[in-house]
Amino acid sequence: MSTERGTPTLREAWRSGAARLRQAGVEEADADAELLLLYLLGIGKTEWLRDMREPFPHHHLARWESLLAKREKGVPVQYVIGDQHFYGRAFEVTEAVLIPRPETELLAEAVLRLGDELFGGPGEGGPVVLDVGTGSGALSVTLAAERPEWRVIASDLSKDALAVAKRNAANLGVGDKVTFAQGDLLTPFLAGAGGDYPAIDILVSNPPYIPSADIEELQREVRDHEPRLALDGGEDGLNPYRAMAGQLSGLERLPRVVAWEVGAGQAEDVAGLLRSAAKWDDVYFVKDYAGIDRHVIAIRK
C-alpha cells in the first residue's frame, strides 16, 4: 500500500524497480532491485523486512533512479553498488576487475586444505603462495586473512586491478600481509628476472579462459563491462595455461601445488599441460556447484 499522501512504500519502490529491470531484460530483476534498494538506504535484510511498509524517502529518489538506470543499461549490480562478497568478506569491485564468482571459493578452500596438509596447520608456519592474475584480490586476500602465517604474493598485469586489490587488502586488514607485483603471468618470478621474491610453494590462479570467439556471445553484463584482459584466453582459451606451464621450469623451484581455475571442458587439456611440464604425484579435478570440472590441482607430496 501507499502512504496517505501517495508516497510509495519501500516495498512498492522495490516492486516497481524490479519491474523496470525485468522490462530491460535483467534476469535477476527482483534480487537486483532489492540489492540496490538496500545499498541506497544503507540497511540490511532484517531492517528491510521490518520497514518495507515505511514510506520511500523522497530525498533518495534521484539516486534511486540513477541506480536503476545503470542496471537497466546492463551494468552488473556488483559494479553499481561497488562490492561483491567472497568467502564471507565484502570486496570492492570496479570495472577494472572481474566480479568474484562463488565457484572460486572452492578453489580457495582447496588451497587452504592442501596448505595445511602439506605445510602444517594454522599457527605452524606456512607456505609461500603466489596468486597470478589476482584481480580484486579475492583469492590472495582471502588466503592471507584465513592463514595469517602464510606469505602471500599477488600479481596482475593491470595496474588498475592491482590498485583495487591493494585497497581490498588494506580494508580487510591484511595490507601488510600481501606483497603485490605487476607483470605478465609468471614472468616477474622467473629465476634471473631480478625480483626479490622467495621460491613459490603454492601457485594459484584464475586466469582468463574464455576463447576469443566466444566473448561476443557472453551476457551483456560480462561482455560489455567486465575487463576483456581478464576474460580473453586466446583462440581456444588455453593461452594463459600454456604460458604458465611453460614457465614453471624457469622458477627457482617447482611449486609443490599448482591450483588453477579453468573453463568448462578445459580440465583435461590443462591437466595435460601440467603433466607435460613437470612430474607430479597427483593431478586431479575439483567440481563446481554445477558438477563441472572447474579446478585443476597438481601436487608433489
Number of structural domains the chain divides into: 2
Q: Is residue 215 part of a domain?
A: yes
Instruction: Say if residue 56 is in the same domain as residue 101.
Output: no
Instruction: Say if residue 60 is in the same domain as residue 103.
Output: no
Instruction: Say if residue 131 is in the same domain as residue 261.
Output: yes
Distances (CA, A) of 89 to 36, 45, 110: 18, 17, 18
Instruction: Say if residue 262 is in the same domain as residue 190.
Output: yes
Rounded to an integer, what distance in angstroms lies between the CA atom of residue 229 and that of residue 294?
A: 20
Q: Is residue 87 part of a domain?
A: no
pTM, rounded to two decimals = 0.92
Q: Is residue 78 part of a domain?
A: no
Q: Is residue 69 part of a domain?
A: yes
Q: Is residue 82 part of a domain?
A: no
The pLDDT of residue 193 is 81
Rounded to an integer, what distance in angstroms lies between the CA atom of residue 274 and that of residue 292?
A: 19
Q: Is residue 152 part of a domain?
A: yes
**Binding positions for S-adenosyl-L-methionine:** 133-137, 156, 206
The pLDDT of residue 121 is 63
**Binding positions for substrate:** 206-209
Cβ–Cβ < 8 Å for 167, 154: no
All cell numbers assigned to 170? 588494506
Task: Give the ranges where the chain is alpha helix by DSSP (H).
Answer: 10-23, 29-41, 45-51, 61-72, 77-81, 102-119, 138-146, 159-171, 220-225, 239-247, 267-277
Pairing of strands 151-156, 202-205: unpaired
One pLDDT digit (tens) per residue for the chain, 301 residues = 344 456 899 999 999 999 999 999 999 999 999 999 999 999 999 999 999 999 999 999 999 999 999 999 999 999 999 999 999 999 999 999 999 999 999 999 999 999 999 997 666 678 999 999 999 999 999 999 999 999 999 999 999 999 999 999 999 999 999 999 999 999 999 988 878 899 999 999 999 999 999 999 988 999 989 888 898 899 999 999 999 999 999 999 999 999 999 999 999 999 999 999 999 999 999 999 999 999 999 999 8
Instruction: Say if residue 114 is in the same domain as residue 165.
Output: yes
Instruction: Say if residue 18 is in the same domain as residue 131.
Output: no
Write the CATH number for 214: 3.40.50.150
Q: Is residue 5 part of a domain?
A: no
Range of the domain at 249: 96-299
The pLDDT of residue 123 is 60
**Binding positions:** 133-137, 156, 206-209
